Chain A
Amino acid sequence: MNQRNETGDDALVLDRTITFTLDEFCRACGARRSLVVEMVEQGIIEPREARDGPRFHGEALVRAQVANRLMRDLGVNIQGAALAIDLLRQLGRV
C-alpha cells in the first residue's frame, strides 16, 4: 500500500486515502486480474493512473468485494453486480 493511516498497527480504514496497486488489489479482494479489469470496464471501480500503474482506493476495494459476493451468492453476472452496485451507491450503502 502506498499510504497508511496512522493507526499504530496494521489496521487500515478502507477510505479514499488508502491506495492499492493492481497486484495488492487483486490479492486483497481475491480476484484475478482479468476480473478486476472487467470490474473497471463495467464501472464498478475506477482506478487512478499513476506513473507505475493503476491505483485503487479503499472504497473501491469494498465495492469490488461486494460485487464478488453478489456474483458468488446470488449467481448474478458482472453486469448484474454492476447494476446492484450502482443502486447501492445511490443509497449510500457502498
Chain B
Amino acid sequence: MKFKDYYDVLGVKKDAPADEIKRAYRKLARKYHPDVSEAADAEDRFKEVAEAYETLKDPEKRAAYDQLGQGYAHGQDFRPPPDWGAQGGPGGGFDASGFEDSEAFSDFFESLFGQGRRPHAGFGGGRGPARRDGEDITAKITVSLEDAYAGARRQISLDTSEPGPDGLPRRKRKTLNVTIPKGVTSGQRIRLEGQGGPGFGEGARPGDLYLQVEFQAHPRFEAHRKDIHATLPVAPWEAVLGATVPVPTLGGNVDLKVPAGASTGQRLRLKGRGLPGKPDGDHYVELRVVTPKAPAAEVKALYEQLREKEAFDPRSEGVKA
C-alpha cells in the first residue's frame, strides 16, 4: 500500500489551519465533483480530495495521521504499525463524502481509520443510532450499442459491506445478474431497489444500487441520446445519379435511397432506426463521396471524357465573379 500525502492532495502546508484546509477542500471539490466536472479522472481526484479532507478536518484523525506519516513521502510503500488496530485508531462514526462505487475510501485510508461510507440515511435523519439504513451505491456500467438496442443480461460485481460478527461493517464482494433494458441511453441511471449496501439494525432497509450507463465506443456508430449517427461512403456515380444502397443499422441492413445530386456532408435520416424508445430514435447517415483509388484504364478514360464534357467547377460554387 502506498502512503498518501493528504496535505499535498489539498495543496496546503502541514501546519495549515483548519479554515485554510476547508477552503482548499471546497475549491478542489467544486473542480472535481463528479456531478459537475467533465475531467476523465474527476471521480478519482474527488475521492482523493474528499478522503484527504475527511482526515485533516478532524483534529483527532489529523493528529493520528501526522504521527503515522512522519518520515513518509507521497507514493512511498506504507504499512501501519501492527498494533495500530488494537490501539483503536480514531475510526468509526464519521461522515464520509464519496461518489460512485468508490464511495469506500482507499485501502490506505481504511487501514488507518476503518471503513468510511456514507449511510443512505444521511439526508433523512431522525433515526435512532441503533438502526442505519444501507448505503446507496452508484456504479458505472459500460454497455455496447448492440446491447442497448436489443437489451441484455449482464453479470456485475461490486464491493459492498455487511455486518461482521462484531456488528461492524466488513467489505464484501457481491455479484448480481442485471438486465440491461432495451433502449437505455448513455448517462441514464438504472435503479435496482434494495441491491445497495445492507442496513444495520432491526428494521433497517438496504440501500439501492444505481448503475450509470456509459456507451462503449463503437467502430461504426455514434449515439446521441436515442439517435445513431454514422458515415455512409458512396461512389461518385451513386452521388450523381442517385442509388438505393444498403445501410448498416443496429437492427441490420436497411435500404436507403440516396437522392441524385447528393454531396459529401449531406445528412439523411432513417426514421425510427435508432435506439428503441417512445418514440424510437433515428439513424442518421452523413454521406461521404469516395473515389476509387486506382481506377482501371477504361474507367480512367471515362473520367477523362467527363472532364472534357462537364464544365462543372466545384470551386466556383457560391463565389461571385
Q: Could you tell me which A residues sit within 8 Å of B by CB distance? A: 5-15, 17, 26-32, 35, 58, 61-62, 65-66, 68-70, 72-75, 84, 88, 93-94
User: Complex Cα distance A31/B193, Å?
Assistant: 16
Q: Could you tell me which B residues sit within 8 Å of A by CB distance? A: 26, 29-30, 33, 35-36, 46, 50, 97, 99, 118, 120-126, 133, 136, 151, 153, 177-181, 183-184, 187-195, 205, 208, 210-211, 278
B135 CB to nearest A CB, Å = 10
User: Complex Cα distance A27/B133, Å?
Assistant: 11
Pairs across A and B, CB under 8 Å, 28 listed: A5-B181, A7-B181, A10-B192, A11-B180, A11-B211, A12-B191, A12-B193, A13-B190, A13-B191, A14-B189, A14-B210, A28-B208, A30-B121, A31-B124, A35-B123, A58-B189, A58-B191, A65-B210, A66-B35, A72-B97, A72-B122, A72-B123, A73-B33, A73-B46, A74-B26, A74-B29, A74-B33, A88-B35
In the complex, the chain B residue whose C-beta lies closest to that of A5 is B181
**Beyond A9-B192, A11-B190, A73-B97, 14 additional pairs, beta carbon < 8 A:** A6-B181, A11-B178, A12-B190, A12-B191, A13-B190, A27-B205, A68-B123, A69-B33, A72-B118, A72-B123, A74-B26, A74-B30, A75-B26, A88-B35
Point out the residues of chain A lying under 8 angstroms from B126, CB to CB.
32
B133 CB to nearest A CB, Å = 8
User: Complex Cα distance A94/B181, Å?
Assistant: 20
User: Complex Cα distance A8/B152, Å?
Assistant: 10
Take A7-B179, A32-B124, A72-B97 as given contacts and tell me if A88 and B36 are in contact as well, using a CB distance cutoff of 8 Å.
yes
In the complex, the chain B residue whose C-beta lies closest to that of A16 is B278
Point out the residues of chain B lying under 8 angstroms from A61, CB to CB.
191
Take A31-B123, A35-B123, A74-B33 as given contacts and tell me if A10 and B181 are in contact as well, using a CB distance cutoff of 8 Å.
no
User: Mostly helix, strand, loop or mixed at chain B's interface?
Assistant: loop
Q: Is the CB of A30 within 8 A of B136?
A: yes
Q: Is the CB of B188 within 8 A of A14?
A: yes
In the complex, the chain B residue whose C-beta lies closest to that of A76 is B30
User: Complex Cα distance A61/B118, Å?
Assistant: 19
B154 CB to nearest A CB, Å = 10
Point out the residues of chain A lying under 8 angstroms from B50, CB to CB.
73
Central interface residue in B97, B126, B189, by most chain A CB within 10 Å: B189
User: Complex Cα distance A43/B136, Å?
Assistant: 25
Point out the residues of chain B lying under 8 angstroms from A32, CB to CB.
123-126
Point out the residues of chain A lying under 8 angstroms from B136, CB to CB.
30
Q: Is the CB of A30 within 8 A of B190?
A: no
Q: Is the CB of A69 within 8 A of B29?
A: no
Among A9, A17, A28, A70, point to the contact of B33 (Cβ < 8 A): A70
Q: Is the CB of A84 within 8 A of B123?
A: no
User: Complex Cα distance A75/B53, Å?
Assistant: 13
Point out the residues of chain B lying under 8 angstroms from A8, CB to CB.
153, 179
Q: Is the CB of A70 within 8 A of B35?
A: yes
User: Complex Cα distance A91/B120, Å?
Assistant: 28
Point out the residues of chain B lying under 8 angstroms from A6, CB to CB.
181
In the complex, the chain A residue whose C-beta lies closest to that of B191 is A12
Q: Is the CB of B122 within 8 A of A30?
A: yes
Among A14, A72, A73, A93, point to the contact of B190 (Cβ < 8 A): A14
A92 CB to nearest B CB, Å = 8
